[in-house]
Amino acid sequence: MAHTDLSKAPPGAGAATSDDVANAATALRASQLVVFPTETFYAIGADPMQSQALAALAAVKGRESDKPIALIAATRESAFAIAREVPAGALLLAETFWPGPLTLVLPARSGLNRLLIGPDGGIGVRVSPHPIAGELASAAGGLLTATSANLSGQPPARTLAEARQALGGRISVFIDGGVLSSNAPSTVVEFTQQGTYRIVRPGAIDHNSLTAALRKLG
C-alpha cells in the first residue's frame, strides 16, 4: 500500500497518523463504519463492495433508498474502474479538477450494489485531495464511501465533535482531521452514455469553471 504523508494535512488538521488510518482500514474490512475528514466535510466510510456495510451505512444515515451513496477513489484508475464507460467530458473534468471537490456521476458498470446506483444508472465518485481521505481510500482497496457524517437532512459536520454528536456509538473508528473550513460540498456533475451532462448539485467548483474546462472539447 502506498502511504501518504499525513503531516501534509491542511492547516488546522488534527493529529491523525498512519496507525489511525490502518485501524480504520481494519474496521472497514470487518464491514464496520468509520468517520474521516475530506476536503469538504467529515464523511462516513464503508467498504462499497460489502453489502452488509452499505446496509449499515444507510441505516445509520436514515437515508432514502433512492438516494445513491457516492464514493471517494484513491486514484483516477480506481474511480473509472466502476464505470461502464467514461465520456470525454467526464475525462476532461477529471484531468482538470481531480484531486478536488468534484463528484462525477458516470454510467455504472454491472454488479455493483444498488445502494450506490442512482435512478438513471449512474454512480458518483471523486478523488479527494485530502491526505487522510486519500490514504484511507488506498488502504481500503481503492474505493470508499463518502457520504457526509450526519443524519440525513441535517447539516454536514465540520468537526469531529459534530460527527460524534450526530452518529455516536454507531461508528467504530473516528479519524481526527481538525476543523474543516469548507463552506460547500463537492460539485456533482452527471454524465450520460451519450456524453451529455448536467449539474446535479452546485458546490465548491462553480458553473463557470466547469464550462470553461469543457470548452476544450471543441
CATH number of the domain enclosing 205: 3.90.870.10
- The answer to the question of residue 168 being in a domain is yes
Rounded percentage of the chain residues whose pLDDT exceeds 70: 92
**Is the CB of residue 87 less than 8 Å from the CB of residue 182?**
no
In this prediction, residues 114-137 reach a mean pLDDT of: 96
Q: What is the pLDDT of residues 3-26, one digit of tens each?
A: 334 434 444 455 677 789 999 999
Domain assignment present for 133: yes
Compute the average pLDDT of residues 123-142: 96
What is the mean predicted confidence (pLDDT) over 110-115?
A: 96
- Indicate the burial class of 129 (C-beta count within 10 angstroms; 0-12, 13-18, 19 or more): middle
Residue 49 belongs to a domain: yes
Q: Is the pLDDT of residue 1 over 80?
A: no
Q: Is 34's pLDDT higher than 80?
A: yes
Position 211 in a domain:
yes
Residue 121's domain comprises: 6-217
171, 157 contact by CB (below 8 A): no
How many C-beta atoms surround the C-beta of residue 135 within 10 A?
27
Contact 71, 143 (CB under 8 A): yes
Give the span between the Cα atoms of 129 and 73, in whole angstroms. Answer: 11
Return the pLDDT at 7: 37
Q: How far is CA 52 from the centre of its chain?
A: 19
Alpha helices (H) along 46-113: 51-61, 76-80, 88-97
Instruction: Answer yes or no: is 116 within a domain.
Output: yes
Provide the whole-model pTM. Answer: 0.91
Q: Please, are residues 43 and 145 in contact by the beta-carbon 8 Å criterion?
A: yes
Domain-located, residue 105: yes
- What would the DSSP string read from start to end of 170-210? G-SEE--------SS--EEEEE-TTS-EEEEE--SS-HHHH
The kind and range of the H/E element at 54 are helix 51-61
191's grid cell = 454524465
Beta bridge partners of 104: 125, 189
pLDDT, residue 195, reads 80
pLDDT of residue 83: 97
Q: In total, how many domains does the chain have?
A: 1
Report if residue 1 sits inside a domain.
no
74 and 138 Cβ atoms separated by less than 8 Å: yes
Confidence of residue 214 (pLDDT cuts 50, 70, 90): very high
Set of cell numbers at residue 151: 443524519
